[in-house]
Structure 1
Amino acid sequence: MFKEIIISIQAFAKAHALVKKHRLWKWIFIPGIIYMILFIVSMIFLWNTHSSVIAWFNTTTGIQSWLEKQNSKLLNFALAFGEFIVGVILLMIYFSFYKFLWLIVGSPIFSILSEKTESILEGREFPFSMAQMLKDIARGVKLALRNLFWQSIYSLTILIIAFIPLVGWAAPILGLLVESYFFGFSMLDYSCERHKLSPSQSINFINRHKGLAVGNGMVFYVLHLIPVLGWLVAPAYSVIAATISLYNAPDISNDQPQASINILQQQSSK
């Protein structure tokens, strides 16, 4: 798994080189600008509301009044740090809903960009089909909703863990891994779908290569630490990198269903 994470991370550098060489900037900046605007608006809203949720919880449970009676600096610090941890988890949960909404809205662009990336890697064109694109969109929405459901289950479990003293401090790391996996899953599925893997086959395939999904999602989130530029390139670069990573993973072509029709052949020699 660790090796696949490294492969997935390295794929972002190769994605940048591919974008520059083949002048794919319009595929990067047009969806990137839309994503950045929506991201800024949603983060402002989420930041202004998550503190209200924490305050409501403290008031409802009586923790705040109990701490005031204890008058303990250590307990106050523990509460403040715990609130920070819970706040991070809440922001992750909120962002995951926004992220899946964006995946649904941006599915047509991401599907085309993934196909364009593979056509460059293989040196051949894929015939365009409106009917196929509509199927791709429907499949993307279906899997996005499926992933949203399971990620919500995991995220709520992690949120509960976040309220446990000391143990809850590990919650943000667990949350990041879960977020990264489900986002990377969506990026990898565009290639799986193009090569005729059914949703269940795609799920099984990606589950056997979790490292590729986790690595892709991790870089996607790290890019958000770079204001403006990171927000612009994060979505499109993730799609391109996911497609490339499947071509650089060793022996991956031996781990595919027969129905994949030689999907994701290794192209490391190119």
Structure 2
Amino acid sequence: MNPFTKFWLGVRLYGKALAFTRKHDLWKYYFLPAFLNVIAFVSVGIVGYFFAGNTVEWLEGLFRLDNPTTWWQTTLSYIVTFLVYIIAFLIYFKSYKYLMLILLSPALSIVAAKVQEILHPERPSEDFHFPQFLHDLKRGLIINLTNLAIELSITIPLILIGIFFSPASPFTTVLIILVESYFVGFGMIDLRNEFMKLDVKESRATVKKHRPFAIGVGMTMYFMIWIPILGILFAPIWACVSAGLGIYELEENKA
């Protein structure tokens, strides 16, 4: 399967995820992750709003732009405000994304497990064991924090290039979206890999092999999350279901 076909599979499976949910009556597993996602989205948004506002006030006071009297001071004030809110937005989305992946991981793991149980009736999920739960939680933290470090090492230079070399900003923006989409997709695919008892190294190898698919899953969620109400409630859950269905096709059904 060529890279574009894998990418498109990650996009179009969101429709199949909804149909799969209806067919197998998975709605009851949606409530907890949807509730937690609203908490994560709103909490990070409130913190980001006050952070951006306070930062703008501090910079305007530092450079004496709070009461502009000349055209260049007014222009500089607008530029400072614009840059701060752009950077705050990028920080917001990155913070929300990883808080979502960590906070929702136990709840999304249940959804991912139910999907795999249906696809693999010969492999029912194990009974709940607290030591195994702690192990899976630790595993998820290690993967997500490692991914965050890798992502920051890539996106921060791209952000700086876009800010200080504006002609490159459209190009760097596209690259940033691709990188962030990949790591969102990574987190969703890993929920399936966790059910299949893959260790961290094996999970990374699986995602790397299907990188375009991971980008497709992540990018669709990236844009869907901004759909009022619907995106906030269901985008991560549909991403989780889509990732599970897609890897089943790519790895086991050989579609």
TM-score of the superposed pair, with normalisation by structure 1: 0.79
Q: What is the DSSP-based 3-state SS (H/G/I as helix, E as strand, rest coil) of the residue aligned with 1:166? A: helix
Residue 12 (structure 1) aligns with: 14
Q: 1:196 to 1:139 in 2, by over 3 A?
A: same
- How far the C-alpha of 1:237 sits from its partner, in A, is 1.1
Say whether 1:147 aligns with 2:134: no
Which residue type is aligned with residue 14 of structure 1? K
Q: Is the 8 A contact 1:5 1:211 kept in 2?
A: yes
Say whether 1:162 aligns with 2:149: no
Q: Residues 64-143 of structure 1 correspond to what in structure 2 (within 5 A)?
A: 71=72, 76=75, 84=82, 87-124=85-122, 125-130=124-129, 131-143=131-143
Q: Is the 8 A contact 1:50 1:87 kept in 2?
A: yes
Which residue type is aligned with residue 125 of structure 2? F
Answer with 126-135 or 141-150: which moved more: 126-135
Distance 2:16 2:29 in 1: 16
Q: 1:55 to 1:83 in 2, by over 3 A?
A: same
Q: 1:14 to 1:72 in 2, by over 3 A?
A: same
- Aligned CA RMSD, in angstroms, stands at 2.9
Q: What is the DSSP-based 3-state SS (H/G/I as helix, E as strand, rest coil) of the residue aligned with 1:220? A: helix
- 1:98-137 Cα shifts (integer Å, max 9, x gaps): 3212222222112221111011123342332414333222
Distance 2:24 2:193 in 1: 23
TM-score of the superposed pair, with normalisation by structure 2: 0.83
Q: 1:208 to 1:233 in 2, by over 3 A?
A: same
Answer with 7-16 or 146-155: which moved more: 146-155
- How far the C-alpha of 1:172 sits from its partner, in A, is 3.0
Give unmatched runs, 5+ long, in structure 2.
none
Q: 1:154 to 1:201 in 2, by over 3 A?
A: same
Q: Is the 8 A contact 1:47 1:91 kept in 2?
A: no
Q: Residues 1-270 of structure 1 correspond to what in structure 2 (within 5 A)?
A: 1-53=3-55, 71=72, 76=75, 84=82, 87-124=85-122, 125-130=124-129, 131-164=131-164, 165-249=166-250, 253=251, 265-266=252-253, 268=255
Distance 2:173 2:61 in 1: 24
Q: What is the DSSP-based 3-state SS (H/G/I as helix, E as strand, rest coil) of the residue aligned with 1:45? A: helix
- 1:189-245 Cα shifts (integer Å, max 9, x gaps): 122233232212222221222112111111112112211111100121111111011
- How far the C-alpha of 1:246 sits from its partner, in A, is 0.7
Q: Is the 8 A contact 2:185 2:218 kept in 1?
A: yes
Distance 1:63 1:176 in 2: 35
